[in-house]
Structure 1
Amino acid sequence: MKINGLYKSFGTKIVVNDVSFTIPKGKVTALIGPNGAGKSTVLNMITRLIARDAGRILIDDKDLADYQSHDLAKRLAILTQTNHITMKLTVRELVAFGRFPHAGSRLGQADWAKVDEAIAYMEMSEFSSRFIDELSGGQRQRAYIAMVLAQDTEYVFLDEPTNNLDIYHSSNMMKLCRKFSDELGKTVILVLHEINFAACYSDYIGAFKDGALYQFDTVDKVMTAETLKALYQVDFQIQQLNGKPVSLYY
């Protein structure tokens, strides 16, 4: 997927300005940066949740605007920060929504197999008959991501997947995102605030500042004290842990 010259403004405020980068296939890419840096807006434009004012977004050299909605839903899936379903649904019923781009409302045996496979992959089989509003925050988040997996797309976009999760559930969520790429061959794009999660579980990092792409490169090249201070205006120390750069700030 190639992003070229992406631009977005709301009124007179420019929120994304001339952003260009290429998302490597089959890898995990994290978008980081301070609040208001433009990373979630970029994610929403890439997934066509909001319109771009200028620029091009290409999947296999075809512009995103040229895809029919049902065809695009077979190529990419997104989980946003706000997932509030008011219907009384079980986990299995929720995850079944992921098959709608493929089967509409008439799911066949193969579709239900994909649903159950996604639920099992997210270690939610014992909760498949439970209602969503009866689950803990971590369980509910895994159910929503199972729905994304059931959609069976090449590209998986997750906006703050660790939001409102404790350290245990956050680290497990990031391990699962890593597995999506390593085991399932998915191209995973995450918006993250926790930079050490980005460093430990990603292959590439896009660092955003003031609506622009400050740097896009491999983890080792982005996770430097100089880059992080430029982004967050805080002093950092970078250490190596199990071959991965981790940051301490003060």
Structure 2
Amino acid sequence: MISLSQVRKDYSSEVAIGPVDLQIPAGGITALVGPNGAGKSTLLTMIGRLLGIDSGTIEIAGYDVATTASKDLARIVSILRQENHFITRLTVRQLVGFGRFPYSKGRLTVADEEIVSRAIDFLDLGDLEGRYLDQLSGGQRQRAYVAMVLAQDTEFVLLDEPLNNLDMRHSVQMMQHLHRAAAELGRTIVIVLHDINFAGHYADRICAVKDGRVVEFGTPDEIFTDDVLTRVFETPVRVIEGPAGPLAVYY
């Protein structure tokens, strides 16, 4: 479980995140949704300790994020930010191998190599593992970064807008991969999404963030109502029944 208690981040007298009280159960996919500038990515990076908090506590699987040693935290939670730029020219396999650093410190063992291979195969990157990142399409590169995170072999995985710059086909494929990772590998995935319909179709829980606070938390069935989505996004939203479940229509 990921637990946030009275978590707050102050930027100015007018801009702040929190206070946030939130309990994210273990297992499945939890999607963070909300308007631009709502604080979704900030909340995720605070959970992953890439950004400090000004007050409150965050715990992951009972470990205090603020005080747990980095080497121990890296075996519990992995995080992928929006900005992923490696200056060094790397192949896909070399990149995915970085996910094993908390265990190998750069010296991959046979067991590490097996885990890297499994992550590459899981994301269907076997034919690309010898290619350099700058030779890949945006969708292929994004899959490589997610494979790196999965190779870290943590129960909790935090992903900040992994669908960024992906077209519809590759976005669907990415969400299918993540759904499989949660179901087949037992990962707890917390993901920032802009497309509410991807959240509704693939997530087990939806956390709506607005003005730096959690305003709604529940199952897709609980969140996917005209009133809730209209209130969260401050624009008229109508939920209709689509061929694969409810769809949010906005215009």
1:130 counterpart letter in structure 2: R
What is the distance in 1 between the residues matched to 2:87 and 2:220? 39
What is the distance in 2 between the residues matched to 1:62 and 1:150? 21
TM-score, scaled relative to structure 2: 0.97
Q: Is the 8 A contact 1:76 1:155 kept in 2?
A: yes
2:143 counterpart letter in structure 1: R
Q: SS of the counterpart of 2:207?
A: strand
Tell me by how many angstroms 1:234 deviates.
1.3
Tell me by how many angstroms 1:59 deviates.
2.1
What is the distance in 2 between the residues matched to 1:246 and 1:4? 32
Q: Indicate yes or no: 2:164 matched with 1:163.
A: yes
CA RMSD of the aligned region, Å? 1.1
Tell me by how many angstroms 1:244 deviates.
2.8
5+ residue gaps, structure 1, are: none
Tell me by how many angstroms 1:236 deviates.
1.3
Question: In structure 2, what is the equivalent of residue 216 of structure 1?
Answer: 217
Divergent runs of 4+, >4 A: none
Q: Indicate yes or no: 2:174 matched with 1:173.
A: yes
After TM superposition, list the pairs within 5 Å mapping 1:1-250 onto structure 2.
1-242=2-243, 244-250=245-251
Q: SS of the counterpart of 2:15?
A: strand
CA displacement, residues 158-181 of structure 1 (integer Å, 9 cap, x when unaligned): 100100000000011111111111
2:177 counterpart letter in structure 1: L
Tell me by how many angstroms 1:11 deviates.
3.0
5+ residue gaps, structure 2, are: none
Tell me by how many angstroms 1:107 deviates.
0.9
1:28 counterpart letter in structure 2: I
What is the distance in 2 between the residues matched to 1:173 and 1:240? 23
Tell me by how many angstroms 1:243 deviates.
5.8
1:61 counterpart letter in structure 2: G
Tell me by how many angstroms 1:242 deviates.
4.9
Identity %: 46
Q: SS of the counterpart of 1:58?
A: strand
Tell me by how many angstroms 1:212 deviates.
0.9
1:80 counterpart letter in structure 2: R
1:133 counterpart letter in structure 2: D
1:27 counterpart letter in structure 2: G
1:76 counterpart letter in structure 2: V
What is the distance in 2 between the residues matched to 1:41 and 1:49? 9
CA displacement, residues 126-166 of structure 1 (integer Å, 9 cap, x when unaligned): 00100011000000000000100110000011100100000
Q: SS of the counterpart of 1:65?
A: coil
Q: Is the 8 A contact 1:15 1:37 kept in 2?
A: no
Tell me by how many angstroms 1:15 deviates.
2.7
